[in-house]
């Protein structure tokens, strides 16, 4: 029960921080060559992708939770959530690796959503 509460708290704290960063930082950091409105919409699209992946992750991990065991899968999803959150936080911007920064950011969000 405690592990579940910790995982959920970390997840929603991450969504809050990501939402603020998507509005304030990501348009300039990951989409600098775009129109400011388009850059903001692209930033929020990466935010949205995390929510789209959630039901997919629930279906996948729900299925395996019944087969492998819920406790093992809970630990696994918390590890994936932590690793993908760290990856999103450490992703270099457009000025360092170009468009791959946005691609890696999106992959990190998909992994967060799946977990």
Can you tell me the distance from the alpha carbon of 68 to that of 51, in angstroms, rounded to the nearest whole number?
Answer: 25
Give the domain ranges of the chain.
2-114
- Span 45-55, pLDDT tens digits: 998 998 899 99
Give the model's pLDDT for residue 94: 94
Separation in Å, CA 40 to CA 4, 20, 56, 114:
33, 11, 26, 24
To which residue do tokens 């999803």 refer?
A: 77
Distance of CA 105 to the CA centre of its chain: 8
Can you tell me the distance from the alpha carbon of 98 to that of 51, in angstroms, rounded to the nearest whole number?
Answer: 25
Separation in Å, CA 15 to CA 69, 91, 99:
27, 16, 23
What predicted TM-score, i.e. pTM, was given to this entire model?
0.83
To which residue do tokens 């704290």 refer?
A: 13
Q: Per residue in 42-73, is it b (16+ CB within 10 Å) or e — as a string?
A: bbbebbebbeebeeebeeebeeebeeeeeeeb
- Span 56-95, pLDDT tens digits: 999 998 888 888 888 888 889 889 988 998 998 899 999 9
């Amino acid at each position: 029960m405690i592990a579940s509460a910790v995982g959920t708290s970390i997840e929603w704290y991450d969504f809050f921080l990501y939402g603020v960063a998507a509005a304030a930082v990501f348009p300039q950091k990951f989409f600098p060559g775009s129109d400011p409105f388009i850059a903001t919409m692209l930033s929020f699209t990466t935010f949205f992708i995390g929510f789209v992946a959630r039901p997919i992750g629930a279906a996948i991990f729900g299925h395996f939770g019944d087969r492998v065991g819920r406790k093992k899968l809970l630990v696994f999803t918390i590890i994936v959530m932590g690793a993908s959150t760290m990856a999103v936080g450490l992703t270099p911007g457009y000025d360092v690796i170009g468009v791959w920064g946005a691609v890696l950011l999106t992959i990190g969000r998909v992994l967060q959503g799946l977990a």
